[in-house]
Amino acid sequence: MAIRSVSRARVLVPVGLLVAAGAVAAALQGQSGGVEGRPQMSVVADTTSSAPPVVTTVVPVTPTVTPTATAPTAAAATTTAAPDTSTGAAVAALHSAVDRAEGAVSVAVTDLETGQSLSYGGPGHGFATASIVKLDILAALLLRTQDLGSTPTAAQRDLATTMIENSDNDSATGLWDEIGADPGLDAANARFGLTATEAGQDGYWGLTSTTADDQLRLLRQVFTDDSLLSPASRAYIQELLDQVEDDQRWGVGAAASNGGFEVKNGWLPRDSDGLWVINSIGRVERDGHELLIAVVSDGNPTDSDGMDLVESVARAAAEALPGSR
């Protein structure tokens, strides 16, 4: 039986990488399937300015890099930059981190300074959001209030604070209803450019299905000027993400070099098999660069296994992104 909302947990951040290798992947509606083959990866320059980026994938394991001065698709790229030794080692480390997953995992990262983006893992696989959807709910609420020419009420702001900072489920349910439940979220996401995210049905907002690429598009709405959200709305969301309670500040922040990051995490044990959905999205500061990172995973044997996986993949993806080291 599916869980209506994601249970709040206080968990300590484990240290180290997963040591178990591939078993089974948990599917989003309680079905199971075989472990996915080696994921695909691409590295492309982001040159769009008026719409969320489309992160493409290509078959070669070596990342394909296109210059930021042009706007080719991966298929049309004619110049491929051969990675240096350090880049090759970083890509190998990313392969290794992803290959250790016992279920499925996917990562998407972009460097706001260089425009380089990377997407890796889980092709064609939808992941349950668990509590990372709370960021999406808040973005949808703020877009709705902007459309009405208003701002969130005091009651809505109180719910938003506890929903983001404490990952409170009752608050999420209250704002879910405010935005019009699943039709409201789907409508907002269509405007945000999220093409592979489908809101959970019948109040099960934690079972919204998404991809790492779509979560990166959502992060762009929150952290860049190329957004439907006003500067005031973006600043408000960023402030809440920066105040997430200490025991929930694990995840993509592991890729930060100086401790600066904003994060929203999600965790959910599936009723069908007891395996864990563990997700993390946010912005990190790394060696003078601002990176947006989304890591989504399922089929984790335990919550701590999933947190180790998410952190190791986030670090490896940040290291593998050209120009961000």
pLDDT in tens, 291-306: 999 999 999 999 999 9
Q: What is the pLDDT of residue 158?
A: 98
Tell whether the model's pLDDT for residue 85 goes beyond 80: no
Per-residue pLDDT, 325: 60
Angle at alpha carbon of residue 81, lines to 79 and 83, rounded to 5°:
165
C-beta separation of 65 from 111 below 8 A: no
**How high is the pLDDT of residue 124?**
87
231 against 39, higher pLDDT: 231
Q: Could you tell me the strand order of the sheet in which 104-111 lies?
A: 41-45, 116-120, 104-111, 289-300, 276-286, 261-269
Domain ranges of the chain: 39-72+96-320
State phi, psi for 118 to the nearest 5 degrees.
Answer: -135, 140
- Which pairs count as long-range contacts for 164-167, CB under 8 Å and 24+ apart, including other chains? 164/134, 164/135, 164/138, 164/237, 164/240, 164/241, 164/243, 164/244, 164/264, 165/240, 165/243, 165/244, 165/245, 166/8, 166/245, 166/248, 167/6, 167/8, 167/131, 167/134, 167/244, 167/248, 167/264, 167/265
Specify the CATH superfamily of domain 39-72+96-320: DD-peptidase/beta-lactamase superfamily (3.40.710.10)
Lowest mean pLDDT among 38-42, 255-259, 261-265, 291-295: 38-42
What is the percent of the chain with per-residue pLDDT over 90, rounded to a whole number? 70
Q: Is the pTM of this model over 0.95?
A: no
- The number of CA neighbours under 13 Å toward the Cβ of 27 is 9
Q: Which residue has the higher pLDDT, 257 or 31?
A: 257
pLDDT, residue 324, reads 63
Confidence of residue 66 (pLDDT cuts 50, 70, 90): very low
Please write the tens of the pLDDT for every residue from 19-46: 333 332 333 333 333 333 334 454 444 3
